[in-house]
Amino acid sequence: MKDKVQATLNEIRVALQQDGGDIELVEVNEETGTVRVELQGACRGCPYSQLTLTGYVERVLKERIPGVKQVVNVNLESLKME
């Protein structure tokens, strides 16, 4: 599953890079179906980053890869811990 997620993120990355952003795969938990990513560049602090994550990244991953249940931005996780 991890290889499929990475390949899909590589395709998604092109669109994000056009807007000065990027995305990096952090972890795939096959048991829970959770994909953890780090939004980078302009995407990191963008007010629309959550919309990009759920409306675009998560949607595409769920459509293409059975077993993906959710995509989590580790940038937001670290903010919640502070």
Residue with tokens 């919640």: 80
- Number of domains observed in the structure of the chain: 1
Residue 82, pLDDT above cutoff 90: no
Q: 3-state DSSP helix/strand/coil percent for the chain, to nearest 5?
A: 55, 25, 20
Contact indicator for 41, 20 with CB cutoff of 8 Å: yes
41-47's contacts with Cβ under 8 Å and 24+ in sequence apart are 41/16, 41/17, 43/16, 43/19, 44/75, 46/21
* Full residue range of the structural domain in which residue 44 is found: 2-81
Residue 70, pLDDT above cutoff 80: yes
Pairing of strands 34-41, 70-73: parallel
The CATH number for 17's domain is 3.30.300.130
Per-residue pLDDT tens digits for 10-51: 999 999 999 899 999 999 999 999 999 999 998 888 888 888
